[in-house]
Structure 1
Amino acid sequence: MIVAGLGCRKGTSAENVLSALDAACSQAGISRESVTALATGEIKRDEPGLLELAGKLVLPLHVLDETVLKQAEGRTKTVSKHSLAQTATPSLSEAAALAGAGEGSELIVARLIANGATCALARSKDHR
């Protein structure tokens, strides 16, 4: 399973979030269709661009609470001062990707920023 962890500025369009996802997939050398789920933090639960993108791609959007994100934060690779101030997590997108992909998952693309959105990709440990 490959999970895309997503973050964005308030009001970021689905198209701009998609451009971050596509850039991350390109960096990983995978197709967008390889992504099996999207994940974000509670702070982004009602973000229209994320909800629209999940519907457009017909992928589940897992909204993870702060406790779950905190458990994954030791495995994140980047630090965003903005993310720390808003979510108390060094990288919302990386923590969401890792937590969404499960225990033992690994980042295959660290937080990538594009058009007001961030995306990180994590692969579950049992992914073949």
Structure 2
Amino acid sequence: MIVAGFGFRSGATVDSLADAYKRARLGQDAVVLATVEDKLPLLQGLAGRMQRPVIGVSDRFMIMQDTPTRSEAALSARGVGSVAEAAALAAAGPGARLVSTRVISEDGQATCAFAIGEDE
């Protein structure tokens, strides 16, 4: 399963998320969109537009993920190097790997990363 994970600031819009997705996708489409549980409402707006299901990842599972990139804001707020990467990896399941590290939207408000599950 291919998962697009998202991290975003409070000022992000659905268009911010869509732009980050477009920049990160590398020719692939995600089957599922994911982010940290308390940020689901905005992501559900994009999911509705794209007709994709969403997964909310708990903070507990987020911090278990090893992310190759590091954002000081994400480390401070969530204890992970990248919320987008951690959400994608956690939602894709055990053994998942990143196919795209976090990419930032043009407006700087959202990030997106893609992961693929072991079953793909």
Q: 1:87 to 1:6 in 2, by over 3 A?
A: same
C-alpha displacement of 1:42: 2.5
Are residue 107 (structure 1) and residue 98 (structure 2) matched? yes
C-alpha displacement of 1:53: 0.3
Partner of 2:104, secondary structure, is: strand
Aligned mates of 1:39, 1:118 — CA distance in 2: 12
**Contact kept? 1:2, 1:36, Cα under 8 Å:** yes
For 1:42, give the aligned amino acid.
E
Alignment of 1:27-66 (within 5 A): 28-30=26-28, 34-46=29-41, 48=42, 50-66=43-59
**Contact kept? 1:43, 1:87, Cα under 8 Å:** no
Partner of 1:82, secondary structure, is: helix
Structure 1: where are the runs of 5+ without partners? none
Instruction: Give me the TM-score of the superposition, normalised by structure 2.
Output: 0.92
- Over the residues paired in the alignment, what is the CA RMSD in angstroms? 1.2
Greater helix share, structure number? 1
Identity %, equivalent residues: 37
Structure 2: where are the runs of 5+ without partners? none
Q: What is the number of equivalent residue pairs in this alignment?
A: 118
Aligned mates of 2:119, 2:17 — CA distance in 1: 27
